[in-house]
Amino acid sequence: MREFDFLVVGSGIAGLTFALRAAKAGTVAVVTKKESMETNTNYAQGGIAAVFSPDDSPQCHMEDTISAGGGLSHPEAVKIMVEEGPSLVDELYRLGTHFDVKGQVGNDKVVFDLWREGGHTRRRIVHAQDHTGEEIEKTLVERVAELPSVSMFENHLALDVRGGGGGGCRGGVIFDTESGEIEPFFAKITLLATGGVGQIYLHTTNPMIATGDGIAIAFRAGAKIANMEFVQFHPTALYLPYTKGRKFLISEAVRGEGAILRTQDGNTFMEKYDERGCLAPRDVVARAIDMELKKRGEEYVYLDLSPIPPHRIKEKFPRIYETCLELGIDITKEMIPVVPAAHYLCGGIMTDIDGCTSIPGLFAAGEVAHTGVHGANRLASNSLLEALVFSKRAAQKAIEEVKNKTASVVGDVAIPEYGKEEKERVFLAHECKEIKRIMWDYVGIVRSDERLEKALCRLSVIWRDVEDLCGCCKPTREIAELRSMATTARIVAFSAMLRKESRGLHFNVDHPERDDVHWKKDTIITKEELR
């Protein structure tokens, strides 16, 4: 049994920003499934959107965000993000994050080198070449490691939260994946910052750990979950048929610098789908590519970087250049084969503007949370900004609550009953592959009523099998992740089936029009609706 003031599940930008601030007010446990650097944050290439240019403004950033959000963005949350974001990006720089800069004004003000990406009407993407997320993650890991009040538990994962419902959350049930031991971690405040759900899809840019753990845990505890049908597919992931797991992402900033999408016969096509062409928002570009691939019976399109000078490519996109070169593609001379891949979840655990979920004592921040900022479609490079702003606000609120909770939260130390049987890995691998294939074929970029009904029917069978499995088998990382995948896949399919329209990232051929009369609202569910 362990007791802390704050329990943080996840070690991306949201979890570490929260921990960095909460550590000033009490003891913090950070639980992370792998090494602390293995997060979605680490793979964010493009950058972090914030207003720094003289020709830009928070109002302009807000308008771009709401425009991309398809009418479902919450204006209050967006306003908070765009106004509070720049100072927090400055703070990251002062903490040691090596963003690219053009120069310095005075003693303490820098001029950031700003990129532009699809959906943005101004250059406002602060970046560290093309590995911004990795640079931010590295800085936060280093700063958190300096704090004696923070304990990092690598190779640990949360199986469930303790408490829930009217009694509130009092920590979590934590599994040590190396020793196999299960231990209760009691905490006055618990933050879920576990990232997204990309691994429920066949093709994804997310790391192997993105299995939807936090959403599944919160759902089982009775928390409200919102807008899970809005899964963003990044339009340009590197297509190589022999790669497995995470697809290498080709940053949207490449198109921002002038790269052009072409079909395999060399023709451009984006102008047929949107007047903004290759700079249209991600959902438009991903759907256009998907339609071209289906129409032509091909597996990929090309991204042509020839409009960008070779020296500029190497200077601005060194990671993309080096990785592609290692895989046999010289992007200064050859086009890149690309395909859409599941990239980001716009829905998640429903929170208010301070990160509070519907369960007292349980907070959420980052991709796992639904703040209302992204609406039906996330604007490029708003993900890191949202995580930064709302994890800061969650920490401030959590610190206030901890001050009011002077008594210990330690209660019954009994561990919930888990099974003792072993299970062959072939069974787990088969169920995992089936979830991925069902989600890709039936709950992907383009959907239909029939596909969604079939998906939900089959996923419900898998979910029941996996729940039975969890009741009889002793916990392993594979079983815990499969349980999360089965739960979150079912929630995504159910949410998509409920929404009888097409909006943002959710496109249904049986309901191709946007319907503001009936569906200009969030899709909110709990476990009571999905039994």
Please name the helix (run of DSSP H) or strand (run of DSSP E) that holds residue 143, with its range, or none.
Answer: helix 132-145
Place of tokens 């959107």: 49
What distance in Å separates the CA atoms of residue 452 and residue 455, rounded to the nearest whole number? 5
> In this structure, are residues 166 and 223 in contact, taking their beta carbons and an 8 Å threshold?
no
How far from the centroid of its chain's Cα atoms is residue 106's Cα? Answer: 37
Place of tokens 């703070």: 91
Question: Could you tell me where the DSSP H helices lie in 317-448?
Answer: 318-326, 382-404, 425-442
Active site residues: 282
User: What tokens were used for 68?
Assistant: 């991309």
Please name the helix (run of DSSP H) or strand (run of DSSP E) that holds residue 341, with its range, or none.
Answer: strand 336-345
What is the edge-to-edge ordering of all strands in the sheet holding 369-370?
A: 369-370, 348-350, 225-226, 524-525
Question: Strand, helix or coil at 186?
Answer: strand
Q: What is the CA radius of gyration of the chain?
A: 22
Question: Could you tell me where the DSSP H helices lie in 10-131?
Answer: 13-22, 58-68, 75-95
User: For residue 271, how many C-alpha atoms fall within 13 Å in the half-sphere facing its CB?
Assistant: 4
> In this structure, are residues 95 and 135 in contact, taking their beta carbons and an 8 Å threshold?
no
> Shortest CA distance to 159 belongs to which of 199, 194, 189?
194
- Number of Cβ within a 10 Å radius of residue 519: 20
> In this structure, are residues 262 and 301 in contact, taking their beta carbons and an 8 Å threshold?
yes
Q: Are strands 301-304 and 260-262 parallel, antiparallel or unpaired?
A: antiparallel
> Shortest CA distance to 204 belongs to which of 243, 158, 230?
243
Measure the N-to-C terminal CA separation of the chain; round to a whole number of Å: 32
